[in-house]
Amino acid sequence: MSFTLRVDSAQWRRGLQTTIEDEPRTVPVIKGNGYGFGVHRLAVEAADLPVDTIAVGTNAEARVVQEAFDREVLVLTPWHPAYAAGDHASVPGTIRTLSHAEAVLELATRDEGTPVIIEVLTSMRRHGIDAGELALLLRPLESLDVRGYALHLPIDRGAGYDAAAEVDRWAGALADAALSPKTLWVSHLSSTEMARVRAFLPGADVRPRIGTALWLGDRSAFTVQATVLDVHRVARGDRVGYRQRKAQREGHVVVVSGGTANGVGLEAPAAAKGVSGRGKAVARGGLEALGRAHSPFRLAGKRLWFAEPPHMQVSMLWLPGDTVPPAIGSDLTCQVRMTTATFDHVEGI
């Protein structure tokens, strides 16, 4: 029984090298579940890349990656004096992120010389210091080792929004506050937008923080496979699963490895866009209300239906009666969301 990520290591690593060659100032992001590969495993890979810094989400992740990566580590979650005491302690070799004026004032007094990055409040509006507060920080920042300023930008580009122009505006605001925008750490800029930013700011060191596009950029380099554990023929009207739903017609129930503990069936909420998007969302909701939902598992390239919602470590799938069922012990491919996936085995790297 295995829910396995299989990686073509040579192809995958070529993709990593190409990304770094195209953008030498890349800061690889390694956080959460390590994009399906695992945080420690990606730190090992990053150690073989020509990069001087990686970024993680938390102090706990920083300690894990430092077992394999001996260069600097940026912690993306902002530090604040009101957070739990365990988050106050600096992890040696890390750069802290500060995104509140009061955090800057506190740390400048408490821990002079600490390496920090100052995050500003972009249109993303998740973390960041407002432009109106920048001038108040000039003197306190003199007591810290400021490594630059961070801009976390939205992914969706709505009508009239220009990400490169927003970076340029913030560089201007920093300069107006007598804070040097010499080094800018940016997220979610395309290569075209990066080129425009560098044209706007020819003297700046612009450092893109890249996670998904680096580690998951070449999805043909890896596959997810589940093991077929059981196959049961069912007649129309037979009851199936925990919820004892009736089979609507003759077919097979195929039980495969991979359930909620592996991230199967889990997804982030998404806003439906446009009339078509809302129509599809309504259609999916109607099918789910009737007990029907597509699974991420595929047989011969065809997506299969869940027989019922996935269990913790297995999923029950419905196969029509006119389809030859797979043999026990064979594999099905699965297109799982990598940022929520946990695998029993990772093969190839």
What are 62-89's pLDDT values in tens digits?
999 999 999 999 999 999 999 866 666 6
Rounded Cα distance between 133 and 153, Å, is 20
Evaluate if residue 100 carries a pLDDT over 80.
yes
Q: Is 252 left (phi over 0), alpha (psi -120 to 50) or beta?
A: beta
Number of H helices, E strands in the chain: 9, 18
Evaluate if residue 58 carries a pLDDT over 50.
yes
Q: In the chain, what percentage of residues exceed pLDDT 70?
A: 91
What are 194-252's pLDDT values in tens digits?
999 999 999 999 999 999 999 999 999 999 999 999 999 999 999 999 989 999 889 99
What are 132-191's pLDDT values in tens digits?
999 999 999 999 999 999 999 999 888 889 999 999 999 999 999 999 899 999 999 999
Report pLDDT for 86. Answer: 63
The structural domains of the chain, ordered by start, are: 6-215 (3.20.20.10), 219-347 (2.40.37.10)
Query: 319 falls in which pLDDT band (50, 70, 90)?
Result: very high
What is the pLDDT of the chain when averaged over all its residues?
91
Rounded Cα distance between 38 and 41, Å, is 5
Report pLDDT for 6. Answer: 97
Rg (CA), the chain: 24
Query: 281 falls in which pLDDT band (50, 70, 90)?
Result: very low
Report pLDDT for 282. Answer: 33
